[in-house]
Amino acid sequence: MNRALRGFSGVLRGALPLAMAILLAACSSGPQKPKPAELSPGPNLIGVRQAWISKVGEVALPLNVRVLGQSVVLASSDGTVAVLDARSGGDLWRASLGTPLSAGVGYDGQRAAVITRGNEVVTLESGREVWRQRLNAVSLTAPLVAGGRVFVLGADRTVSAFDGQSGRRLWQQQRSGDALVLRQAGVLLAVGDTLVVGLSGKLVGLNPLNGSVRWEAAIASPRGVNDIERLVDLVAGVSREGDVVCARAFQAAVGCVDAARGSVLWTKPAVGATGVQGDRDLVFGTEADGTVAAWRRADGERAWAQELLRYRNLGTPLVAGRSVVVGDGGGLLHFLSREDGSPVARVSTDGSAIAVAPVLAGNTLVVVTRNGGVFGFQPE
């Protein structure tokens, strides 16, 4: 394998100016929101112990929390980038870039990469800035650091590759698209020696060496009568098992693609705005009304649906052993049975919304809130 690819398998220009073309996801909910479902007394079928608490700044950016072994990498809106030890919550290193961020974090165990609001990609090693490069457009997706390169997905549907050591731009793939783009993180990951990117409603496989297209697979196609209704961008939070990648198209569908062949395995209508997670048997996601749903990975048929958390502003769930864990807009973590969605436990954080899907680092469940609280829980 080419040296540049080692470790890789282990990451609009439309009719309107970009500043006018970015659509806030919140706009889809309308001015009046239904009342959140009232919760019954907390179930305690499993024990969940709070192991530690840490703190970063406010998290108002689309955050990707990266986990490598026992290292947890995260960032805050004010430009703080931190690597924590999941066993204790202590800092392995922490740096302040002194400039607000629009997206983060990519990490390969050596380099971390973030995007500033000034449209720059910045890389760090051991808390020290190594290089930064100007981008042609805003990016709301965490960079992918893999194979000695840093890959960036712009909100204008431009994909760029930079040399991880020097920051030199290696190539850029540009694609026109719909007039509107979603103000959420998109899809950017590595599957084997292929760079897989979400472009509009498609997963697209690119050659990471030069950006050439290897395949395209549509999870959803624009069908509305206006630009808003036709918006089907793929949203961050995907479920990968081997070569199979499952993703959500905004307010349109959930589907799975064989990334080795570039073929669609199945798609099912689904009305949601957050990503999906899963395991080898099931794919889990939350719908716009707060229903937590499970689809069979093999064929996309519904396995179960849980409506007890409707309208509680749920995020992307996480599979943790026999539980599906999902955070809500009030800072609560809900543990549901993986088998049927029934509640098994509930824990609180700091009262602010859960900012991003929980992650599992070893035996520690790590949760980040909008107020910058970082919590380590250990299910028992």
4 has a pLDDT exceeding 50: no
Which of 164, 183, 202 is the C-terminal boundary of a domain?
183
Residue 335 maps to a domain: yes
57-74 average pLDDT score: 96
pLDDT band at 286 (very low <50, low <70, confident <90, very high): very high
Nearest to 91 by CA among 72, 77, 108, 78: 72
pLDDT of residue 27: 46
Q: Which residues span the domain enclosing 55?
A: 34-61+306-380
Per-residue confidence band for 31, with pLDDT thresholds at 50, 70 and 90: low
**pLDDT > 70? residue 240:** yes
Residue 1: what pLDDT? 43
Is the model's pLDDT at 225 over the cut of 90? no
CATH number for the domain spanning 125: value is 2.40.128.630
User: Which tens digit of pLDDT belongs to each residue from 107-118?
Assistant: 999 999 999 999
Residue 173 domain-assigned? yes
Residue 371 sits in a domain whose CATH number is 2.40.10.480
Residue 288 domain flag: no
- pLDDT for residue 11: 33
Tell me how many degrees the CA angle 358-29-276 measures, rounded to the nearest 5: 30
Residue-wise pLDDT for 85-98, tens only, equals 999 999 999 999 99
Phi, psi of 3 (to 5 degrees): -55, -35
What is the overall mean pLDDT for the chain? Answer: 91
Q: Which of 138, 164, 183 is the last residue of a domain?
A: 183
Note whether residue 43 is domain-resident. Answer: yes
| Whether residue 70 sits in one domain with residue 54 | no
Q: Give the mean pLDDT of 265-292.
A: 97
Q: Are residues 108 and 176 both part of a single domain?
A: yes
All residues at 6 or more sequence positions from 186 whose CB lies less than 8 Å from its CB, including other chains:
140, 141, 153, 197, 198, 233, 234, 235, 236
Same domain, 121 and 164: yes
8 Å CB contact between 244 and 235 = no
**Cβ count within 10 A of residue 278:** 23
What pLDDT was estimated at residue 230?
75
Residue 227 in domain: no
> Which of the four pLDDT bands, split at 50, 70 and 90, describes residue 149?
very high
Q: Give the C-alpha separation, 209 to 6, whole Å.
A: 12
Q: What percent of the chain has pLDDT over 70?
A: 91
> Residue 174 — very low, low, confident or very high, per pLDDT cuts 50/70/90?
confident
Tokens 């070893």 — which residue?
362
Query: Is residue 132 within 8 Å of 102, Cβ to Cβ?
Result: no
Structural domain contains residue 358: yes
335, 316 contact by CB (below 8 A): no
User: So what's the pLDDT on residue 188?
Assistant: 98
pTM value is 0.91
